[in-house]
Amino acid sequence: MSEDGMAIKVARFRHARDRSELARLMLDWQDLRRRLDDLGAVIEASVLELGKTVTTGNVRASYSAGRKRYDYKAACGDEPDPDLVEQFSTKKIDWRKLALDGIGLDKDEIPYTQSEPSVSLKLED
């Protein structure tokens, strides 16, 4: 529906004050919303497959490869040296410092989880 068509419907509603016209507008909105959501899902899936952010006009589909989350506690093992644990402890254990500085592990030796890639779609002003 064009902007002119929408403006005409809004103007008609303002003057008609008819509940059935409001119901028709709401159903039109519902239909458009569902179609736009479906279109957005297709765009997001395409950008996810492409693996990079795409901008066309004022529409930006931002690709995110997901974030790594390192598990320093797991890297230190089930029973790390108690002296090292004490050295790198405050009120809570700094597992990152313990793993990297205390045990001397390299970053690539630290297990991690990574979130799924994602896409966010927005219309920029």
pLDDT at 16: 54
Q: Which domain covers residue 30, as residue numbers? A: 1-67+115-125
Q: Name the stretches of the chain with pLDDT < 70.
A: 1, 10-17
Q: Does 13 lie in the same domain as 60? A: yes
Q: Does 27 lie in the same domain as 13? A: yes
Q: Does 99 lie in the same domain as 43? A: no
- Are 95 and 101 in contact, with CB atoms under 8 Å apart? no
pLDDT at 31: 92
Q: Does 56 lie in the same domain as 102? A: no
Q: Does 61 lie in the same domain as 19? A: yes
Q: Does 123 lie in the same domain as 104? A: no
Q: Does 24 lie in the same domain as 42? A: yes
**Of all helices (H) and strands (E), which one includes residue 19?**
helix 19-50
Q: Residue 43, class by beta-carbon neighbours within 10 Å (0-12 exposed, 13-18 middle, 19+ buried)?
A: middle
pLDDT at 13: 61
pLDDT at 62: 94
Number of domains in the chain: 2
